[in-house]
Structure 1
């Protein structure tokens, strides 16, 4: 079936398993005043891929589901309106047990007496394919972040998932599916699949696919593109629901691949602007080449244009063939972690922390040789002459990891730490809730590449009359391109002659970079990606000249002073007036096992924006962010 006359409207109703639960039902309920054709929702992350992999492997013993339970809470109140209005739904809530989720959703649909056809997509579970290729010497399965070989990894793989493209979803819709349940499809694949189905695109229409791919990443994180996690958040406070109910996005994609990003028309807070779209895009990317199993989007010319209130056009995306490989996340049991929190108040915070650390290291010395990680982190600083005791108080976090839970048991961590209070620093106080001081399981996550030809991408259509028609095979792409293992990077801006910042931009004043510079960062495995951008063209000339790789290293502070030095990659996006950095392995070993509090890397940009530099006063005269 080919739809003509208007673009498809795709709603982004969830950005993670931690999102609010109401958006699927809300989009469906408001169909008559704000129609959408397809609702997509993202429930997966590298963290719940690892934790649910453990549940899946242990399922026979513990009976715990390895799909996302919050999806069931979100979809149940929406089902009647999905059926009433013929709205399609595609989600990756299957996580590590998509077939199991299918049975639960089918039962839910049947209990309501609805005629909704539920399909599910498989092929993302690839541990046997990885093991076969490894034992046969067909691949070393190099870690895309560290470069290490899988055979040298210190952990035993228990599960592996690859990232599937969107054509299985498209095929399911073409065959009449109303709801398509997936596991690890890429975050943008539901949008690619929906647009491909609606407009009857072909695989070789790469420009259209690339635009749908970028549109998918703009809306798959739900509120982010509407003002969530946005450094211009203060501008969103006034009007309507302001901060209290940030709205959810809609992508309008034409048959030609043109994209408009908008949001719910009914009363919600937030906004869709050039800056909110820039923020979401910069958070997702790691370089000018943006890979998917169906297409590669080339972003060096990307830009946005405001087309009205809460309407932004996506422009300048170019396309290349997809790579012959797809990303694979391999999970292993990584040991256990414990932590404890203490509070320090008022004067001599640094000295108090030093005293505490010296005492605890001595108390735990008999056990610390079994620790694989052992850190003390002072979080923040006390305000001078603070207006309240709480504002003069700083938390101190102690965290330890070990391979075995017994090596972190109460007698080897929690008890010695709490027993230190009588000889402690002035005002020594620990957090009364000690649950984090008891071992919790960690899951290591190793990211590599697998040929798409090794993946059995299948769509299951259980309502079909025969076994032969119930499964569709989705072949890998025939046209692919092998890209360099590292993205293009430039250490400094490329200009005809060096720019003297003081002379070219006038008088300066010392202050936080974030007074005039937006920022957004996030995690990709153990890497942190960080985009910084400005509002005006002359500010961009200053920003790209200021932000060299070496300046970025200085702004990162102690985190960048490593041996060997932290690897940093940099590229510019002139259309977005942005400079983007990839900080290699900044985030320890990834969200599932990191010992840092910024487990998702979202505060990397906020820290950089807080660092002081020489700011041209003429930029400040335009108003601070």
Structure 2
């Protein structure tokens, strides 16, 4: 097959738009539909679901989508590939077969397993202490490739990389082998763009003025060619926007240094080039790949106990004094030492002489963690409510007393490839071990960043400036990478990029993010082909999203906060 393969994403997370699969099959003219249901937090959620009596360790919403599209897909030869198997891909595959049987459809279902390491953690580095509720190596796309080559209509996987949902089908379609590193890297980039669904087609996009079609965005399609180059698009007539900007935003989402290691290839994001290729079409090319690392990434989740949060509203005058008084009274009623961790944050939204009651309020957000559910739960929230008549003037809360919820701690790790048995179970039930790549190599570190403080090349000089929000000249998209936060920042033209590239040093980022980033490690990676830099703030999210006590635990709004900060921008960039 020499024409590009059209792969449409129909899920960016567990709980995404239910109609997306049906809409893609009806209007997308695709060869493969893929769905990404797994995140670090999702693995913890699935582990807790699996542990309950009668619970399952896979994404139930996938089954509903399969029921909508399976008949059409089998009839038209559209393949379905999804990581919805979570912690039990075999169980999920069996459930798909049950649906097919009930609908009278002869569907060939395969699954990929071997990522679940809970039975043997001895080779994991650093050594694992305790008993994690989930422990999964990130597998690549070759199990998917083998399943499709064996005629599977549906391929269910556990924890493969998000991009493997595209690189695996692309390798099957074009007949690539493990040595086709540039082609694989190109497919990884295409997979990274479409893995989060409508985030590539106008969703969460900062420049709203560019999106003229404000309907819910259509889900993205990657047309992957035989050389690994691709075009990103969406179904004809669907909402949203596909532009160099929307694709750039998603390329920068939740990445680290430019050398992006994966199980099949290390993809060099600083080689990616984007070009408009027609209305709602963006071409991706120039991507280079090198051999993958000798280890696989591992995500561990520990059951860390229980947590609870109560938010007290403070109104009008003396906000800081009221907050201090409330904290003192509360931990006089209930002993602070009863909790493993206490996090108290005063969130100021109030304005002097406010025009309305709501504009005069601040929040005192108190989060407690501990092993004893009863203490963390009603004992804590009921103690908070005892301040209702004996606390500060104007006391009220944002919620009634709340119960505790379980939370987990995320730990990144690695495992030698030899300790993982990547296995594909074909539609006829036969099992095949997927071999490791013939060559591996250490991931190169980022090169030295040129000194900041002065523009490079032909960028604007040190002339007149105006103090405006950074977002006047730059877009941003942010997210979580375990306990780290990532902020991709890009400019819309070369002149603005020359200034941005020089301006956003680690020191400047730390200054703009304020007290929360003080003392944290900040890395700024250059991506000149994308007119962008990628910022990683190490440790901002603590032990990961399930444990973080930030009001924005996944750092989704961090990029928009950075864009809101006032900076001195050369007047010549402001038009």
Equivalent residue number for residue 585 of structure 1: 539
User: CA separation of 1:448/1:363 partners in 2, compared to 1, >3 Å: closer, same or farther?
Assistant: same
2:420 aligned with 1:452, yes or no? Answer: no
- Alpha-carbon distance, 1:381 to partner: 1.1
State the secondary structure of the residue aligned to 1:150: coil
- Alpha-carbon distance, 1:125 to partner: 0.7
State the secondary structure of the residue aligned to 2:148: helix
State the secondary structure of the residue aligned to 2:534: strand
- Name which of 271, 275, 279 aligns with 1:309: 279
- Alpha-carbon distance, 1:187 to partner: 0.4
- Name which of 496, 509, 513 aligns with 2:466: 509
User: CA separation of 1:552/1:492 partners in 2, compared to 1, >3 Å: closer, same or farther?
Assistant: farther
State the secondary structure of the residue aligned to 2:87: coil
Q: Distance in 2 between matches of 1:603 and 1:432?
A: 23
Whether contact under 8 Å (1:490, 1:569) holds in the other structure is no
Aligned length: 575
Whether contact under 8 Å (1:8, 1:254) holds in the other structure is yes
Unaligned runs of 5+ in 1: 134-138, 143-148
Equivalent residue number for residue 494 of structure 2: 537
Paired residues for 1:100-119 under 5 Å: 100-119=91-110
Equivalent residue number for residue 16 of structure 2: 19
Structure 1 consecutive aligned stretches of length 4 or more whose deviation exceeds 4 Å: 383-387, 489-495, 497-503
- Alpha-carbon distance, 1:171 to partner: 0.6
2:453 aligned with 1:488, yes or no? Answer: no
Paired residues for 1:319-398 under 5 Å: 319-364=289-334, 366=335, 368-398=336-366
Paired residues for 1:142-153 under 5 Å: 142=126, 150-151=128-129
- Name which of 386, 389, 392 aligns with 1:419: 386
- Alpha-carbon distance, 1:227 to partner: 1.1
- Alpha-carbon distance, 1:157 to partner: 2.4
- Alpha-carbon distance, 1:234 to partner: 3.8
2:146 aligned with 1:188, yes or no? Answer: no
Q: Distance in 2 between matches of 1:313 and 1:502?
A: 26
Equivalent residue number for residue 252 of structure 2: 282
State the secondary structure of the residue aligned to 2:271: coil
User: CA separation of 1:410/1:196 partners in 2, compared to 1, >3 Å: closer, same or farther?
Assistant: same
- Name which of 70, 82, 98 aligns with 2:61: 70
Equivalent residue number for residue 123 of structure 1: 114
What's the CA shift string for 1:57-87, capped at 9, x where partnerless? Answer: x25xx22111111112222111221122111
State the secondary structure of the residue aligned to 2:513: helix
Structure 1, 226-235 or 186-195: larger mean CA deviation = 226-235
Whether contact under 8 Å (1:460, 1:471) holds in the other structure is yes
User: CA separation of 1:94/1:502 partners in 2, compared to 1, >3 Å: closer, same or farther?
Assistant: closer
Whether contact under 8 Å (2:297, 2:412) holds in the other structure is yes
Whether contact under 8 Å (1:493, 1:544) holds in the other structure is no
Per the normalisation by structure 1, the TM-score is 0.88
2:574 aligned with 1:620, yes or no? Answer: yes
Q: Distance in 2 between matches of 1:123 and 1:502?
A: 51
- Alpha-carbon distance, 1:331 to partner: 2.2
- Alpha-carbon distance, 1:494 to partner: 6.7
Whether contact under 8 Å (2:121, 2:128) holds in the other structure is no
Whether contact under 8 Å (1:343, 1:393) holds in the other structure is yes
User: CA separation of 1:317/1:380 partners in 2, compared to 1, >3 Å: closer, same or farther?
Assistant: farther
What's the CA shift string for 1:129-165, capped at 9, x where partnerless? Answer: 323x3xxxxx6x13xxxxxx534xxx43243111110
User: CA separation of 1:494/1:350 partners in 2, compared to 1, >3 Å: closer, same or farther?
Assistant: closer
- Alpha-carbon distance, 1:577 to partner: 1.1
Equivalent residue number for residue 548 of structure 1: 505
User: CA separation of 1:386/1:83 partners in 2, compared to 1, >3 Å: closer, same or farther?
Assistant: farther
- Alpha-carbon distance, 1:386 to partner: 4.3
User: CA separation of 1:483/1:499 partners in 2, compared to 1, >3 Å: closer, same or farther?
Assistant: closer
Q: Distance in 1 between matches of 2:189 and 2:512?
A: 30
Structure 1, 523-532 or 509-518: larger mean CA deviation = 509-518
- Alpha-carbon distance, 1:20 to partner: 0.8
- Alpha-carbon distance, 1:101 to partner: 1.1
User: CA separation of 1:8/1:380 partners in 2, compared to 1, >3 Å: closer, same or farther?
Assistant: farther
Equivalent residue number for residue 136 of structure 1: none
Q: Distance in 1 between matches of 2:483 and 2:343?
A: 18
Equivalent residue number for residue 41 of structure 1: 35
- Alpha-carbon distance, 1:583 to partner: 1.0
Whether contact under 8 Å (1:26, 1:78) holds in the other structure is no
Equivalent residue number for residue 148 of structure 2: 173
Equivalent residue number for residue 145 of structure 1: none
- Alpha-carbon distance, 1:265 to partner: 0.9
Q: Distance in 1 between matches of 2:561 and 2:143?
A: 41
User: CA separation of 1:514/1:490 partners in 2, compared to 1, >3 Å: closer, same or farther?
Assistant: farther
- Alpha-carbon distance, 1:483 to partner: 2.4
Q: Distance in 2 between matches of 1:375 and 1:252?
A: 47
Q: Distance in 2 between matches of 1:204 and 1:286?
A: 24
Per the normalisation by structure 2, the TM-score is 0.95
Q: Distance in 2 between matches of 1:596 and 1:608?
A: 16
User: CA separation of 1:480/1:337 partners in 2, compared to 1, >3 Å: closer, same or farther?
Assistant: same
Structure 1, 581-590 or 341-350: larger mean CA deviation = 341-350
- Name which of 455, 460, 475 aligns with 1:518: 475
Whether contact under 8 Å (1:170, 1:196) holds in the other structure is yes
- Alpha-carbon distance, 1:428 to partner: 1.1
